Amino acid sequence: MEFLQAQLRMIPFVLQPEPADFQAKVRSPGTSFLATVPIGTKAKYRGKEYWRACKTDLREAFGHICAYTSLHVEEVTGADTVEHYLPKDKHPNLAYEWTNFRFVCSRMNGRKGTKAGVIDPFLVPDGLFQIDFPSMLMTVNLAEAQAPTAAQTIKILGLNDEKCTRSRFRYAHLYATEEVTRNFLSQHAPLIDAELTRQAISRGALAEMFKKQPT
């Protein structure tokens, strides 16, 4: 499954075709299970998490990038998860559907939970989410119609908390100090890469920003 790196940002992401074995490994057993659940009764999914069979495919489809933080999720330590954009408890018909899955780190999955109001990574215009340098805070393009929902997404997911801003700073600082290449930055922190391009900030200018930032 080829991921379209050129179309990768933090939000939006491009929906990729479902894996060839998705029907056999996920949808078919999931549909069979749901057929045993009485109408109007909430499904109990423990032991029926067939979506886990496509975790590797989902990771590849998203280029190893968390759909909400726009940061690389390490395969060993990142605790990647299959996030159901529309909660499976409320939308059981989508519990085993590829189109409802988003690749996210476990922290973001836990923060979103079943909350409404988080913008869908597949339905966001490029440039809606932006980065302020050197604070590394995530901001919103207020000229976009979806700005209120985007701002709510940042709040619900805590995308400007200390952990998130520190992680963004680490990638940007590694680039500014020439410890990583621009290609590395684009593959591990694509929103930062995109924002440096949009704002026409050079590596040297970024380094100067960090030098002047109060400690």
Does residue 2 register a pLDDT over 70?
no
User: 56-96, pLDDT tens digit by residue?
Assistant: 999 999 999 999 999 999 887 767 789 999 999 999 999 99
**Whole-angstrom Cα distance, residue 206 to residue 154?**
24
Helix axes 162-176, 203-212, angle to 10 degrees: 130
Q: Specify the higher pLDDT residue, 125 or 133.
A: 133
- Confidence at 3, pLDDT banded by 50, 70, 90: very low
The overall average pLDDT reported for the chain is: 91
Domain ranges of the chain: 5-112, 123-212
Tokens of 108: 């973001």
User: 95-118, pLDDT tens digit by residue?
Assistant: 999 999 999 999 999 999 999 999
Query: What residues pair up with 140 in beta bridges, in sequence order?
Result: 129
User: What pTM was computed for the model?
Assistant: 0.90
Q: Phi/psi at 60 (nearest 5 deg)?
A: -65, -40
Q: What's the mean pLDDT in 110-132?
A: 93
Does residue 4 register a pLDDT over 70?
no
Q: Evaluate whether 187 touches 5 at the Cβ level (below 8 Å).
A: yes
Q: What is the pLDDT of residue 181?
A: 97
Does residue 11 register a pLDDT over 80?
no
Q: Specify the higher pLDDT residue, 12 or 42.
A: 42
